[in-house]
Amino acid sequence: MITWNRPPDALRTTWIVLRGFLIAFLGGGLFTLLDFPAAWVAGSTVAVTFAVLARLEVAMPVRLRNVLFVLLGISMGGGVTPDTAHRLPQWPVSLTILTVTMALVTAGSYWWFRKVGGWDRMTALTASVPGALSYVMVIALDRGADLRKVAIAQTLRIMVLVVIVPLAVTGFGHASAAAAPAAPDGSWLDLALLIGAGCAAGLLAEWIKVPAGLLTGAFLASALLHGAGFVAASLPPVLLVPCFLGVGVMIGGRFAGTDRATLRASFALAAGGFVVGGVLAAVGAFLTVLAIGVGWGQSVLAFAPGGLEAMSALSFALAVDPAFVAAHQLFRFIGIAIVMPAVIGLIDRADGAPPAR
């Protein structure tokens, strides 16, 4: 089972928490050695999932979870740079196509999970959102969705895309690479400002009942500071890696008590949802190639709903214009962060009342 609140046996709980992070670290480390994109998130999720399915208990105390959410939001906001912000208006046509495509991908996948799978609205929505894995999983946790189903759908989508996208790009050719700017480390003063602003914004967003407020508020504060050029700092690996491991523990931990029949049924539905969303995303990528003349590889990586980190990593590995890919993936992520609260509000009203927090 997975424990979200502090049990009376503090020593035993401490060991269970540390054991979960150790399993996550071993999985993430293995995936890192294998050069797997988004290795720490994917590897930790897979490792903890297998451990939990083997009936090994893991735990995530609420206070530790909240700290990780704030740090995750800060780290994701660091993907916004003045250069990225300035280049976004250069691609209005492709960004418009991306906006429509992502709406159709979400709607199509949502229809599949609701009508074919019979999933509840919040589970179907969070399983359908294309990308922003950490943010979506926090939303799912915060709004009472079935995390086991969401995790299966989202994890399957990312893992399949990581295999398929390189084949699609190398099979049809791609644009020449663009030089990738080195990420600045910034100063400790910048880092302190980031963490302070992220904590304050996260607490404020949580107080005014923004869905996944700690993560969303911290992300917006970090994105504004980075995009305006006020700070150049990024979270050091000693803080960032534990955040990724924590996501893996939280996702994998939700498979506790899952029987094989449920796993098989969710996997089959997730595969169908991936096909629906993947076809729509491919159509959008093809229309972008026709509309603005970019290479197929650029367009595929920009439209692939595989997450900012994973697709950006693939763009570097495959020598595809990383600025174009990162800008579109970041635009999609920001759009998800902005639109999701409104969509959740509509679902809450359709259900008659918000889910219990």
Q: What is the pLDDT of residues 225-251, one digit of tens each?
A: 988 888 888 888 888 889 889 888 887
Query: Per-residue pLDDT tens for 318-345?
Result: 667 766 887 788 788 888 888 888 888 8
The more confidently predicted of residues 31 and 88 is 31
Q: Predicted confidence band at 106 (pLDDT cuts at 50, 70, 90)?
A: very high
Cα distance between residue 153 and residue 140, in whole Å: 12
Give Cα 239 to chain centroid, integer Å: 18
Q: pLDDT at position 319, please?
A: 65
Is residue 87 scored above 70 in pLDDT? no
- Segment 164-183 shows an average pLDDT of 53
Identify the bridge partners of residue 257 per DSSP, sorted by sequence position: none
Whole-angstrom distance between the N-terminal and C-terminal Cα of the chain? Answer: 20
What percent of the chain is modeled with pLDDT above 70?
Answer: 82
Is residue 4 scored above 80 in pLDDT? no
Q: pLDDT at position 53, please?
A: 84
Q: pLDDT at position 1, please?
A: 43
Q: pLDDT at position 317, please?
A: 58
Is residue 68 scored above 50 in pLDDT? yes
Is residue 130 scored above 60 in pLDDT? yes
Secondary structure of the chain in HEC code, one letter for each residue? CEECCCCCCHHHHHHHHHHHHHHHHHHHHHHHHCCCCCHHHHHHHHHHHHHHHCCCCEECCHHHHHHHHHHHHHHHHCCCCHHHHHHHHHCHHHHHHHHHHHHHHHHHHHHHHHHHCCCCHHHHHHHHCCCCHHHHHHHHHHCCCCHHHHHHHHHHHHHHHHHHHHHHHHHHCCCCCCCCCCCCCCCHHHHHHHHHHHHHHHHHHHHCCCCCHHHHHHHHHHHHHHHCCCCCCCCCHHHHHHHHHHHHHHHHHCCCCCCHHHHHHHHHHHHHHHHHHHHHHHHHHHHHHHHHCCCHHHHHHHHCCCCHHHHHHHHHHCCCCHHHHHHHHHHHHHHHHHHHHHHHHHHHHHHCCCCCC
Q: pLDDT at position 352, please?
A: 64
Q: pLDDT at position 329, please?
A: 81
- Segment 23-49 shows an average pLDDT of 84
Is residue 313 scored above 60 in pLDDT? no
Is residue 310 scored above 70 in pLDDT? no
Amino acid (1-letter code) at residue 53 = L
Is residue 354 scored above 60 in pLDDT? no
Alpha-carbon distances, residue 296 vs 8, 94, 300, 320, 353 (angstroms) = 57, 13, 6, 10, 45
What percent of the chain is modeled with pLDDT above 90?
Answer: 28
Q: pLDDT at position 128, please?
A: 93
Lowest mean pLDDT among 96-100, 121-125, 315-319, 343-347: 315-319
Locate 7 and state its tokens.
């049990």
Q: pLDDT at position 325, please?
A: 80
- Segment 77-104 shows an average pLDDT of 82
Averaged confidence pLDDT in the chain:
81
Amino acid (1-letter code) at residue 239 = L
Tokens 């996702």 locate to 251
Q: pLDDT at position 209, please?
A: 76
Lowest mean pLDDT among 80-89, 128-137, 290-299, 330-339: 80-89
Tokens 């704030």 locate to 70
- Segment 8-31 shows an average pLDDT of 89
Is residue 173 scored above 60 in pLDDT? no
Is residue 303 scored above 80 in pLDDT? yes
* Residue 227 neighbours by CB distance under 10 Å: 19
The more confidently predicted of residues 28 and 219 is 28
